[in-house]
């Protein structure tokens, strides 16, 4: 039986810009600005939760994007966040979009921050989930025992490892994780496939670079005037919530929403709430983050 | 011209329970459970923002309460949070309310926590604004230069000092503070009057006691299963936001919402947003804090 989720059936498209070919999916409609979704470490177009994207696509066009070297996009994965931000900007330019809203999850949230630092007008409203500012702490240290245990466990096959590392190990966290993995498996064809070690290594280099403090710590955040919604699970082991605290303490126009009994994948665990909150935030007509 | 706010015209009532006489105001209607509002340091019934309470009263009955020794309530102000929690419970018993929702602001948020620790069934859903857990840090140290400057400035008359210490000193923060002070001044009669030094001294003793760690720090929070919404301005100088972080990290069923460019009085500064968010939180029919 085909999936009931529009997102699981959306076809992948390709856009040629300056010698690169970017893979993306574009679907949904409504009065909102298009929302660009920037993905997590090793994640592809196939890693977006169809329950979440279907709900978000009810009121606006969504654009899921494979950065350079990811999925079926050409090129090599940059080893800096700035390199990824430049690809995302080139892609938007290629689409002819002067501005849009941006949802960046994890690695994608770093790319989103760098995009608006590089060119503020590229984005109207910003949603940063499970991410960190430059100079943040304890960013994606997969060698930590709490994470390594699951990553090295051969019984965690395919998306199964995401159930363990994106969700709390409580019954409700694991139940939500199992449902998430089921939804990822809804797509049967037109797949990106799984990212390999070259992708992981390059992105990990970008994390290590992003962890470095440059100049006065967090000073660049104070120049980002965009209305921003920051979201994090309180038990995020991959990019701990302290990074979200530093974001809202330094971004001048940001609201923080935290979820209980949730880890890195809080937006998938609580996809109904997240879509409602994100929708309310994106629907604000003025230039305040408060909704 | 009389105020257009229902809250500014609500009459004060009195309830005799076990030899005490408690002052309160009760107004509003709707399908929600009654919402008990617990007030801040030296605050009385007159210190609730009519714009906020009018909005909250659209969907439920509100009960504003003067604890013992405050405003026109009899008795002396307890020097512990537990003493205040026992008065609030006696008051609810006297009203014949078996359960209700509770919004505790600052000192009131501590009383709310102690109430549900003492008797969980007394409350269904809990909203904690600008407050701290037992063993929290930097709670109401009015001797800090940032606060003392305003408290000792003779040009800050009446409610004017609240504009300085509850709101950020930015133009938008001070404009919101000025509007708040204007709304407080709407009530022309049936007033509680201003709390004196005896009230302040006893409540300050309660803060100092609440700052002490007893047993394992924050362990009691993990026993509070109530759906809880924690709200804080990111620049709260009176009870810094780190206390709200500790609340949501330890309460098992709590969501945090933070407001930008806001201090202790974030719920008054952003009264429209706060009423909307609180209303959505209180309207959830299941036992999750997530809304």
Encode pLDDT of A212-234 as tens digits. Answer: 999 999 999 999 999 999 999 99
Q: Quote the percentage of chain A above a pLDDT of 90.
A: 97
| A118 φψ region: left (φ > 0), alpha (ψ -120 to 50), beta (else) | alpha
Q: Which residues of A223-244 are buried (b: 16+ CB within 10 A; e: fewer)?
A: ebebbbbbbbbbbbbbbbbbbb
pLDDT in tens, A69-102: 999 999 999 999 999 999 999 999 999 999 999 9
Q: Does A241 touch chain B (CB under 8 A)?
A: yes
How far does the CA of residue B15 sit from the closest CA of chain A (Å)?
Answer: 38
Nearest to B273 among A234, A276, A291 (CB): A291
CB contact under 8 A, A258 and B248: yes
Low-confidence ranges of chain B (pLDDT < 50): none
Torsion of CA B195, B243, B270, B66, to 10 degrees: -30
ipTM strictly over 0.90?
Answer: yes
Rg (CA), chain A: 17
- Give the per-residue pLDDT at B1: 57
Q: Does B274 touch chain A (CB under 8 A)?
A: no
pLDDT in tens, A247-260: 999 999 999 999 99
Question: Phi then psi for B42, rounded to 5 degrees?
Answer: 65, 0
How far does the CA of residue A222 sit from the closest CA of chain B (Å)?
Answer: 12
CB contact under 8 A, A270 and B290: yes
How far does the CA of residue B274 sit from the closest CA of chain A (Å)?
Answer: 9
User: Among candidates A200, A188, A229, A239, which has minimal Cα distance to A50?
Assistant: A188
Distance CA B225, CA B254 (A): 9
Distance CA A279, CA B174 (A): 29
Specify which residues B64 forms β-bridges with. Answer: B25, B37
CB contact under 8 A, B258 and A259: no
Nearest to A255 among B255, B257, B290 (CB): B257
pLDDT in tens, chain A (291 residues): 567 899 999 999 999 999 999 999 999 999 999 999 999 999 999 999 999 999 999 999 999 999 999 999 999 999 999 999 999 999 999 999 999 999 999 999 999 999 999 999 999 999 999 999 999 999 999 999 999 999 999 998 889 999 999 999 999 999 999 999 999 999 999 999 999 999 999 999 999 999 999 999 999 999 999 999 999 999 999 999 999 999 999 999 999 999 999 999 999 999 999 999 999 999 999 999 999
Q: DSSP for A115-167, please give it.
A: HHHH-GGGEEEEEEES---TT-SS-S-TTSHHHHHHHT-TT--TTHHHHHHSS
Distance CA A147, CA A39 (A): 20
- CA A72 to chain CA centroid, Å, is 18
Chain B environment of A286 (Cβ under 8 Å): none
User: Among candidates B278, B291, B273, which has minimal Cα distance to B60?
Assistant: B278
Strands (E), chain A: 13-17, 20-27, 35-38, 62-65, 100-105, 123-129, 228-233, 254-259
Interface A-B: count of C-beta contacts within 8 A: 55
Residue of B125, B237, B256 to mutate when probing chain A, most A C-beta within 10 A:
B256
Residue in chain A nearest B274 by alpha carbon? A291
């Amino acid at each position: 039986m085909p999936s009931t989720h529009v997102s699981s059936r959306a076809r992948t498209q390709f856009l040629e810009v300056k010698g690169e070919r970017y893979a993306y999916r574009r679907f949904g409609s409504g009065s909102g600005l298009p929302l660009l979704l920037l993905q997590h470490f090793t994640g592809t177009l196939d890693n977006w939760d169809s329950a979440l994207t279907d709900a978000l696509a009810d009121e606006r066009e969504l654009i899921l994007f494979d950065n350079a070297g990811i999925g079926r996009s050409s090129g090599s994965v940059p080893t800096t966040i700035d390199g990824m931000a430049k690809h995302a900007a080139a892609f938007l330019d290629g689409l002819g979009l002067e501005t849009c809203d941006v949802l960046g999850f994890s690695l994608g949230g770093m790319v989103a921050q760098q995009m608006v630092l590089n060119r503020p007008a590229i984005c109207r409203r910003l949603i940063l989930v499970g991410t960190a500012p430059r100079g943040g702490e304890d960013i994606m240290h997969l060698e930590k025992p709490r994470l390594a245990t699951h990553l090295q466990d051969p019984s965690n096959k395919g998306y199964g490892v995401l159930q363990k590392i994106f969700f709390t190990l409580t019954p409700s966290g694991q139940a939500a994780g199992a449902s998430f993995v089921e939804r990822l498996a809804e797509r049967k064809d037109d797949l990106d496939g799984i990212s390999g070690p070259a992708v992981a290594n390059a992105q990990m280099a970008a994390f290590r670079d992003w962890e470095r403090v440059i100049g006065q710590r967090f000073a660049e955040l104070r120049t980002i005037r965009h209305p921003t919604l920051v979201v994090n699970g309180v038990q995020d082991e991959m990019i701990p919530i302290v990074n979200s605290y530093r974001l809202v303490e330094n971004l001048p126009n940001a609201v923080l929403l935290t979820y209980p009994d949730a880890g890195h994948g809080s937006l998938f665990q609580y996809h109904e709430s997240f879509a409602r909150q994100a929708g309310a935030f994106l629907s604000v007509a003025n230039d305040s983050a408060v909704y």
